[in-house]
Chain A
Amino acid sequence: MSSSENDLRVSLDQAFDLDGLVSLRSAVAAHADRLGLPAARIPELVLVAHELAGNAVRHGGGTGRVRMWRDDGSIVCEISDTGPGLPTPPSDDYGRPAVDALGGRGLWLAFHLSDDFMLKSDGSGTTATAAFYAGEPPRA
């Protein structure tokens, strides 16, 4: 991956809990715009961040951390928690849950809407990373 030092500078880094999801969404939207994500894709990144953060507050110990940065041509959003980890190891097989399924839509939407999605999970927590291609970086 080719990336300048400037690109990797973290633009957003904040903790969140259940009551912080609304402000997380507006912070993610503002930073996605500042990092140069096309306006039409900002709502998709906001939804993905919300879904991953919602998983952290419901299943990952109640709190989490969101970080965003630009890596070359992508806007990256990372959501991490220090919870007990996923009950089953992550796989690359994100099928669409059946209409009557109880859950699982968050990971499906993150995989479906982002251009690149990675999930790491073990007994000390879960880290999900979603990247959205931004095209050419904005002029400085």
Chain B
Amino acid sequence: MAEPASVDGLRPGDHACLTFSDADERLDIVAAFVRDGLAASQRVLCYVESSTPTAFSVELAERGLPVDASVASGQLVVAGSGEHFLAGGAFGADRMLGLIESELRTAHGDGYAGLRLTADMCWALRPAAGVEQLIAFENQMARLLTTSSALAVCQYDRERFDTVTLASVTAAHGQAVAAITYHDDAMLRICRQYAPPGIRIAGELDFRHLPVLARALTEALGLDPVIHVNLRQLRFIDGAVGAAIIQAAAGLTDGKRMLVTCQPLVGKVLAAIGADELPQLQISVRDVEQ
């Protein structure tokens, strides 16, 4: 398989695998996939497993997606994975592929430009008959999608699937989708955030990381007039790094803005070095979520 693709680069015919270990990152990529489908006049089907359809819809809405209107119009459908993949208590690859072909025809019949599917594949970990057909199903899905106006992102939780199954399913996908990552080690992760657009930084950030932070910030500032700097999982920041963030905000002109979400200590540091002086910068402090 080629290098991981960015979610906003996926095209009709693509069958992409999203293997994740960070729930926030999975949701971010899935939300961007849904958002781009709604914008492209495609019907979007989301099959969820680790959260309820209602909780998932709330998460999408919090990321700025027009969930209520899209559900009401029928463009967006959010449903449980289990009820679809394991209808009648067992999995049948042929039945599921037939269902997807039928959804594709219906989408065209309803006037949509195509079909986007994304599914939490953890249903395959349930003790149900037929789950051994998973790899065969994924291979058939790849063939079905190739010549169609549909595209799919299949979500696999790296913490829950065994490595042999993960290797087989990723091989059955033409693309792997992942967040652009600027830094990733035990202490710090800096990656692109897709919905809403910006960057996400988790762990501990200090002056030694200024060059990589500058690169991530510079790329993010070109994405959108409102840039989101998600520091909710950031435990430590120092004055030099805080200064780099607020200086990036200070350089924003033409109505561009930066929104920072962070924990109380990070908010205190940013305020102490002058964040409150900048009209382009809005800081939203939230307590740690576990």
Contacts and interface: CB of A to CB of B under 8 A. Distances in A.
A109 B273 contact: yes
A12 interface: no
B250 A109 contact: no
B92 interface: no
B243 interface: yes
B101 interface: no
B274 A99 contact: yes
Interface residues of A, number: 25
B223 interface: no
B247 interface: yes
Contact of A47 (B187, B236, B247, B274): B236
Contacts of A113: 272
B83 interface: no
Contact of A105 (B243, B250, B268, B278): B243
A25 interface: yes
A58 B210 CA distance: 14
Q: Dominant SS at the B interface?
A: helix
Interface residues of B, number: 22
A29 B276 CA distance: 28
A54 B239 CA distance: 10
A66 B164 CA distance: 48
Given A54-B238, A103-B240, A22 B278 contact: no
29 contacts: A18-B208, A22-B187, A22-B204, A25-B204, A25-B236, A43-B236, A44-B265, A44-B268, A47-B236, A47-B265, A47-B269, A50-B238, A51-B238, A54-B238, A58-B207, A97-B273, A97-B274, A99-B246, A99-B247, A99-B274, A100-B250, A103-B240, A105-B273, A106-B239, A106-B240, A109-B239, A109-B269, A109-B273, A112-B272
Given A96-B272, A99-B277, A105-B239, 11 more contacts: A22-B187, A22-B204, A44-B265, A47-B238, A97-B273, A99-B246, A99-B274, A99-B278, A100-B247, A105-B240, A108-B239
10 nearest A-B residue pairs (beta carbon)? A105-B239, A43-B265, A99-B274, A109-B239, A99-B250, A105-B273, A112-B272, A106-B239, A50-B238, A105-B243
